[in-house]
Structure 1
Amino acid sequence: MPRTNPERRRALTDAAIALLAEAGVHGLTHRSVERAAELPAGTAANYFSSREELLVAAAERIVERHLADARAATEASVAPARSAATPGAATPGATTLDLMTDLLAASLLDAATRQRERYLAIAELQLEARRRPALAATMAGLATQASDLTALMHADNGLDVDPAAVPTLVVLYGGALLTLVTGSVPVDDATTRRLARAIVHGSLATPPREDDHGAP
């Protein structure tokens, strides 16, 4: 009968995430997860009947941790900045762009350093999802959930962000983050701020009219 100890299940899925980042999908097996979690042989099979079920559980655990961190980061970074803003000092749109740039720059830097393991694991899962329908469905559902939460957090913190722009924002952020975690560019304050500014202005700024001078 499958075990239901939540603490042990978390230990197994956290070990799976670490293995995905270190060894890739091909290094992930029930036995390797048990060794990494320092649990007896056969433990993982009690919780996950197949390798695909283990991969799905790892994806769900990643999103659980990500959403908790996203809420905490937003409360810590956006709300204080919003309360400190000078009323009437700039247009609401400009204020939103500045606050979003600050938020994304901090998020990119944290994700590419302290949370690098998590995002390498996500990249492995996204590639594997192309070959596993159950995992693909899970990843698609989790992406939608993350996008919806992002839009909700923007509204809760008074950020004037068009919900229709959030999917583009998420895609651009994901591409920048993949580049950072795989070591293609330096990971530092200056780089993450440049990327954040490009993401924010590329997805949220009002697009130029066709008759604007210099418009592409």
Structure 2
Amino acid sequence: MARNPERRAALVDAAVEVLAREGARGLTFRAVDAGAGVPVGTASNYFTDRDDLLNQVDAHLHRRLAPDPAVLAELLKGPKDRSLVLEFMRDLLARATRDRTGYLALFEMRLEATRRPALRTSYTKSVRGDLDEAIGFHRDAGLPGGDDVVTVLYLAMLGLLLEHLTLPAVLDGVLPETTVPDGLVERIVTMIVPER
């Protein structure tokens, strides 16, 4: 296997782009090579097979889409109440909107995991790890609500992000008094997270 970390990173980024644009069926080594602007056959020197590539994409996306520690630290200076949870969810929405490609690739990974048992196992583990990390963060920060609140909030935000990034017009006018999607984020948090 080739060991140039910059080239490997470029290939993984190209794979993310291919996943977001063409879906998992379009994710071939040739498409990744083209997306990275490298000679045909390069990706096959860096990844043993498609499963290896998908696992590398999974690990990369979880780093790429993670919250900025400086933003988290700044937000944590505020009161540990529902309004702080709302700010965290607004940050999530803003990150998803800025990196739509990354989040679309995550959704494609979910779909591909339904077809590939090995990926299902590893991807379930990494997504569950993210949920466990969110639950632990919520606890450690002393935010209102327990593990069940974080789990329901996770599910609600996942649904909102899916609609917002794939079919945003579905949400237009659903709740006239809110601004989609920020108003929906506020409504979700208000309905799920206790005041204290």
For the aligned pair, the TM-score class normalised by the smaller chain equals 0.7 to 0.9
Over 4 Å off, 4+ runs = none
Does 2:7 match 1:11?
no
CA distance in 1, matches of 2:94, 2:185: 10
Instruction: List gaps (5 residues or longer) in structure 1.
Output: 86-94, 207-216
CA change 1:14–1:4 in 2 (3 A) is same
CA change 1:29–1:139 in 2 (3 A) is same
Match of 1:128 among 100, 106, 112: 112
Cα shift at 1:128: 1.1
Corresponding position of 1:100: 85
CA change 1:35–1:191 in 2 (3 A) is same
CA distance in 1, matches of 2:146, 2:69: 19
CA distance in 2, matches of 1:70, 1:138: 25
State the identity as a percent: 33
Asked if structure 1 preserves the Cα contact closer than 8 Å seen for 2:144 and 2:193, the reply is: no
Does 2:166 match 1:182?
yes
Q: TM-score, normalised by structure 1?
A: 0.77
Cα shift at 1:132: 0.2
Instruction: List gaps (5 residues or longer) in structure 2.
Output: 173-177
Please tell me whether Structure 1 or Structure 2 has the larger radius of gyration of its CA atoms: 1
Asked if structure 1 preserves the Cα contact closer than 8 Å seen for 2:2 and 2:46, the reply is: yes
Matched letter for residue 25 of structure 1: A
The alignment of Structure 1 onto Structure 2 pairs a total of residues equal to 189
Asked if structure 2 preserves the Cα contact closer than 8 Å seen for 1:101 and 1:193, the reply is: no
Aligned with 1:41: secondary structure?
coil
Cα shift at 1:9: 1.6
Alignment RMSD: 2.3
Aligned with 1:139: secondary structure?
helix
